[in-house]
Amino acid sequence: MPEPLEPASPAASAAPADAQADRAFMRLALDQAHNAWLLGEVPVGAVIVRDGKVLATGYNRPIGDSDPTAHAEIVALRQAASLLGNYRLPGCTLYVTLEPCAMCAMALMHARVQRVVFGTRDPKTGAAGSVLNLFEEPRLNHHAELLGGVEAEACASLLQDFFRSRRAATRAAQAASEPAPAPHSGGIDVDHLDEPGAEFDT
Ligand SMILES: [Zn+2]
């Protein structure tokens, strides 16, 4: 009889908690985040790994997709689930450059993702310890392993650079088209305040 394709034990299929591998996969998530930037989206990227191999990738794309749920994690989850033909993803690790929000945290738990590794914290909407911690909420019945702070500086810098660049572009456009700024704007761009990573726009 042939061996079954899927290992019987979740532990046997889990990606090893190896710090070097975690950094390498986070750099791939950063590549995905750059893709988001190229399309004018807040740069957050994700990859899903199983058995040491990348299964799916995703980057933040709510504007382009006209989809408020199109965060990097959700995009990657949908791709992985579609590929496997399974709405659950046991034995998978998801890497994401920014701490997951509540929506993504719950989606990761619904998918039974085994391990979640994130880069930098999100003090405004982070649901992995910053605002709340859904991953350690005892009233929820699934708890993914959680690790934060992997390549945190690079993940945060990318977001800061993005918002800096966007502010500069906005100023340049205003200078080209208007003799003076709008009187009550206060210089504050509120368009993105509910976007992931918005707190990096400082
Ligand atoms: Zn999210």
Q: How far is the CA of 116 from the centre of ligand 1 (A)?
A: 13
- pLDDT tens per residue across span 149-172: 999 999 999 999 999 999 999 999
The rounded Å distance from CA 84 to ligand 1 centre is 22
Distance CA 82, CA 91 (A): 16
**From 73, 99, 151, 195, the catalytic residue:** 73
26-83 pLDDT, tens digit each: 999 999 999 999 999 999 999 999 999 999 999 999 999 999 999 999 999 999 999 9
73 is catalytic: yes
Ligand 1 centroid to residue 97 C-alpha, Å: 11
pLDDT over 70 at 91, yes or no: yes
Tell how far CA 17 is from the center of its chain.
Answer: 19
CA of 14 to the centre of ligand 1 (A): 23
Residues 6+ apart with CB under 8 A from 59: 32, 33, 35, 36, 41, 43, 44, 45, 46, 72, 75
Amino acid (one-letter) located at 169: A
Dist. CA 100 → ligand 1 center (Å): 5
